[in-house]
Structure 1
Amino acid sequence: MTPKHKLYPAMPYTSYRQMSREDSDAIYAYLMTQKPVTAPSVEADLRFPYNVRFAVRLWDMLFLKDTLPDASTGQSADWTRGRYLAHALGHCAECHTPRGAFGQMQDAKTLQGGDLGRIGAPDITPAALAARGWTGADLQASFATGIAKQGLDSCAGCHGFDGQGKPHVAVAMNGNSTLRQSDPRNLIA
């Protein structure tokens, strides 16, 4: 069935559109196993010019590309798979790449860091990661376990190595109710 109107793309559609059909089918199958959330529907409240569907088509014509940006080079099967995981499924460039005046990714600066308002997404190019002490093994461990020696400083710098906090500086993470909220925005901020 073809939609009556061009649908608004879900963020980060510029990356997700690179996903293989097999992977998108697997994600759909997983989502269909989840219990629906009981919540009222919310009316769309997009303001001008975002409420003009033609603007999405115009943006696509100007900025949507069929190629993935690269921050490194390679041809091996591992490199190609990593590129796909980082750019399509992981959509790393969506936050870690600076944006232009119209919200388009600046491909010439792929993965060189992005401004996310109150926080910044760091430069995660191979050279920048290596300069901060990351190795391939460290990245593999971080993605597999969520823990890496280079990432404890992000939180531990303020909240202490064991999450005990620092008086008059940062609250303790151990037992903190913010960690148990279903909405992660406060924790992330």
Structure 2
Amino acid sequence: MKKINIFRFVRKWQITVVVAGLMMPLSVIAVSQTADTEQIKRGEYLSRAANCMGCHTARGGEPYAGGRTLKTPFGEFVAPNITPDNETGIGHWSSEDFWQALHSGKARDGSYLYPVFPYTEYTKVTREDADAMFAYLHSLKPVAQTNPPHKIKSPYDNQFLLFLWRMWYFDEGVYQPDTSKSEEWNRGNYLVQGLGHCNACHTPRNVWGASQNSKVAGGEIMGTHWYAPSLISPLEAGVGEWSIDDIVKLLSTGINEHAVTSGPMATIVRQSLQHLTPEDMRAMAVYLQSIGEKHMENETPKKIPPMPDQVKRYLDMGERVYQEHCQSCHGVSGEGVPGIYPPLAGNRSVTMKSPHNMIRSVLYGGFPPTTASNPRPYGMPPFQHIIRDHEIAWVISYIRNAWGNLGSLVKPEEIDDSRGNEF
């Protein structure tokens, strides 16, 4: 019997497969696979930009398998498994389900998600980007991991209250470009306010946990004892007076001649920001520079008021602690060593209103992120096992008021209050 060849060349470089009367060009299949590969690759990049792994990975756990506990005043929330496992992850989810969660803050069954998942910012993400992220997550290895349930305090475990919260505080909508601004500025705004969800940390929150504005004006990171400084004020982390290159360097390496990132921000730089393209990094810098305020040209420098004798004695005790434990690295006059040990004189992170970050750094150490451009950063060891709480309060108070610095005094009880919930 003569064999039937089911493959025939229709034209050069294109093969057509005939199966049960259905003709499908292999060239189309190849294009489709390429498109899927490109979408997955783009989704991986966007997931990096959104730092999904940061919350959806427990310490020492499988990537994206969830299990990390996020503590808030309203209870403890456990990040879910978002690998494509059918039973414990999002294997049965469709792209529409994912879009509903990201854009509308609703679970697959239609129930309302709690805003510890920052859908209040992710709602700005475009459908195209959301679909790419979903394609990437579905390309991952499925991990069968059942995570514990949330422990939400009463009455916050009530869907009707969450419905009211959304009515008051949630504005659903994809980012709309500002036509009066450049394409680069709009890209930076989209990354900062949308995918990067910077507002989730860098904003003051009311008693209901809702952002009081979208101006990244600074606020305590809920449940962590870390303070995310204002990205507007020149007295905190505003970069209106910095060059674009300086901003890019800080975001991509975690350190520049003006500042060093530590705590949660160092983690963001290591896990997310350093992996962005130079174009996206510059776009973020352009946007952040544009919203940063500048010092007034005729602004009168603050004068250090006369100190009462009791305050002088308090600071004198702090100076002795500084000389013993800090001076060898940060210098006699708090000048530091460029690129190695940050200066303390004139350092905004030292003098800003909240002392939380400085307390945490002294307690647990200060560690810039390890990045491709700064693979072996210098760090500060923890001191909580070396000096006592009242000595930490003394030395921080001294640093905040030495060499022209002007900040509030720190009390010993503030040191103990800052313990726990390490990021």
- How far residue 44 of structure 1 moved from its aligned partner, in angstroms, is 3.9
1:163 maps onto 2:272 in alignment: no
Larger Rg computed on CA atoms: 2
1:137 maps onto 2:252 in alignment: no
Q: Give me the whole-angstrom Cα distance separating, in 1, the residues matched to 2:198 and 2:232.
A: 11
Aligned residues: 170
Match runs of 1:1-189 below 5 Å = 4-9=109-114, 11-66=117-172, 75-107=181-213, 110-116=215-221, 117-125=224-232, 127=234, 128-130=237-239, 134-152=242-260, 154=262, 156=341, 163=378, 165=380, 189=423
The alignment-based identity, stated in percent, is 30
- How far residue 126 of structure 1 moved from its aligned partner, in angstroms, is 6.8
- For structure 1, the 5+ residue unaligned runs are 69-73, 172-185
Q: Give me the whole-angstrom Cα distance separating, in 2, the residues matched to 1:126 and 1:83.
A: 18
Counterpart residue identity of residue 239, structure 2: A
What RMSD, in angstroms, separates the aligned Cα atoms of the two structures? 3.7
Q: Give me the whole-angstrom Cα distance separating, in 2, the residues matched to 1:81 and 1:164.
A: 33
- How far residue 7 of structure 1 moved from its aligned partner, in angstroms, is 3.2
Deviations 1:150-186 (A, max 9, x none): 3437485565995364595799xxxxxxxxxxxxxx9
More strand, by proportion: 2
TM-score (norm 2): 0.34
- How far residue 90 of structure 1 moved from its aligned partner, in angstroms, is 0.5
Counterpart secondary structure, 2:185: helix
Q: Give me the whole-angstrom Cα distance separating, in 2, the residues matched to 1:144 and 1:38.
A: 34
Q: Give me the whole-angstrom Cα distance separating, in 1, the residues matched to 2:252 and 2:382.
A: 33
Counterpart residue identity of residue 7, structure 1: Y
| Contact 2:239-2:247 within 8 A present in 1 as well | no
- How far residue 67 of structure 1 moved from its aligned partner, in angstroms, is 6.9
Q: Give me the whole-angstrom Cα distance separating, in 2, the residues matched to 1:106 and 1:4.
A: 29
Q: Give me the whole-angstrom Cα distance separating, in 1, the residues matched to 2:158 and 2:367.
A: 48
> CA 1:100/1:23 → structure 2, altered by over 3 Å: closer, same or farther?
same
Q: Give me the whole-angstrom Cα distance separating, in 1, the residues matched to 2:367 and 2:112.
A: 46
> CA 1:188/1:150 → structure 2, altered by over 3 Å: closer, same or farther?
farther
Counterpart secondary structure, 2:239: helix
| Contact 1:8-1:53 within 8 A present in 2 as well | no
